[in-house]
């Protein structure tokens, strides 16, 4: 089952291209640090600035480096259904365990349009699909009725919810069933998400603090919420300060201090401000991350 601390992997760059060696070393470090699953080519992976060939290459690098040790859920998000299908098929060829499909952004489809978009992807691939609902970026919001319809499609197995609306978890469970995987898309709400019946988080902070995030989610899975809350409080500033500037610039800066990769990002993302750098360093120390 897909659960626990799942890292929305950043994509390292060097001299303007994907740094394959740094990426695969980073994937291996993530797994050895306790991460339960990997999500290459999500928003945090700067997918919108990757070419199609780079997108497939990054998924392939992740699958190879993971070596079957943890699930790989490849981001295939697009507001072009044909493009999402193409990338889903490519992810399947690479050996990904599942794909992450975002609600179509910018073109503002209807609920029926979104249903047909995801249904078309599901029919085109033979691996599992995690839906991604993030109205703050996509504008559109997959409503409860549509989510229930989508959950009836056999290979649509779960949801990454980035609405921060904890009350939805019980609603989704009622219409999608208890086996429908519910993952938080926001680190600050992950603890509460677990308490209401969720099963993990696709995390930005676990790029920088994989051991601490994995331990927090392990405690949540065991129902030891008092200890999980203690960890949450130590991680809280990191959860928030990694977004003081456009993500993933702060996360990449943190990882550069740890010797994992360069801080390089692609336009329109730019490197973070000095004030953000200082806040990130303080947050890392609070979280117990070694620099």
Q: With the C-alpha atoms ordered 130, 133, 134, 138, is the resulting torsion angle positive or negative?
A: positive
| Beta carbons of 186 and 243 less than 8 angstroms apart | no
- Domain 4-222 top-level CATH class: alpha beta
Spatial separation of the C-alpha atoms in residues 61 and 53, rounded to whole Å: 12
Neighbours of 238 (CB within 10 A): 29
- Using alpha carbons, list the distances in angstroms from residue 16 to 8, 91, 263, 265: 21, 23, 12, 9
Contacts with 81 (C-beta within 8 Å, 6 or more apart), sequence order: 104, 116, 117, 120, 121
Grouping H, G, I as helix, E, B as strand and the rest as coil, residue 18 is: strand
In what side-by-side order are the strands of the sheet with 73-75? Answer: 37-39, 4-8, 200-203, 181-184, 156-161, 128-133, 98-102, 73-75
Predicted pLDDT at 64 = 98
Predicted pLDDT at 1 = 79
Predicted pLDDT at 77 = 84
pTM: 0.96
| Beta carbons of 209 and 289 less than 8 angstroms apart | yes
Residue ranges of the domains in the chain? 4-222
What does pLDDT average to in each consecutive run of 10 residues of the chain (291 residues)?
96 97 98 98 96 98 98 95 97 98 94 98 98 93 97 98 95 96 97 97 98 98 98 98 98 98 98 98 97 90
Q: Which residues are catalytic?
A: 132, 160
Spatial separation of the C-alpha atoms in residues 260 and 284, rounded to whole Å: 15
């Amino acid at each position: 089952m897909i659960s626990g601390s799942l890292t929305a992997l950043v994509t390292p760059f060097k001299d303007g291209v994907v740094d394959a060696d740094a990426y695969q070393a980073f994937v291996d470090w993530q797994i050895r640090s306790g991460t339960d699953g990997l999500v290459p080519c999500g928003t945090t992976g700067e997918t919108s600035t990757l070419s199609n060939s780079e997108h497939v290459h990054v998924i392939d690098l992740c699958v190879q480096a993971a070596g079957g040790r943890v699930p790989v859920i490849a981001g295939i998000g697009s507001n072009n259904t044909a493009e999402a299908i193409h990338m889903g098929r490519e992810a399947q060829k690479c050996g990904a365990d599942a794909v992450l499909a975002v609600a179509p952004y910018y073109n503002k489809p209807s609920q029926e349009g979104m249903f047909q978009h995801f249904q078309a992807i599901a029919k085109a691939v033979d691996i599992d699909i995690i839906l991604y609902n993030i109205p703050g970026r996509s504008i559109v919001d997959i409503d409860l009725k549509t989510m229930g319809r989508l959950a009836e499609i056999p290979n649509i197995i779960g949801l990454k919810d980035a609405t921060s609306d904890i009350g939805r978890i019980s609603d989704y469970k009622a219409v999608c069933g208890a086996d429908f995987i519910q993952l938080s898309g926001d680190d600050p709400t992950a603890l509460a998400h677990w308490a209401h019946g969720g099963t993990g988080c696709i995390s930005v902070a676990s790029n920088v603090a994989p051991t601490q995030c994995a331990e927090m989610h392990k405690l949540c899975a065991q129902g030891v919420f008092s200890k999980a809350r203690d960890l949450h409080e130590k991680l809280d500033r990191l959860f928030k300060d990694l977004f003081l500037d456009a993500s993933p610039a702060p996360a990449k800066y943190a990882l550069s201090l740890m010797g994992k990769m360069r801080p390089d990002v692609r336009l329109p993302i730019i490197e973070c401000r000095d004030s953000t750098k200082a806040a990130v360093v303080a947050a890392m120390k609070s979280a117990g991350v070694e620099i």
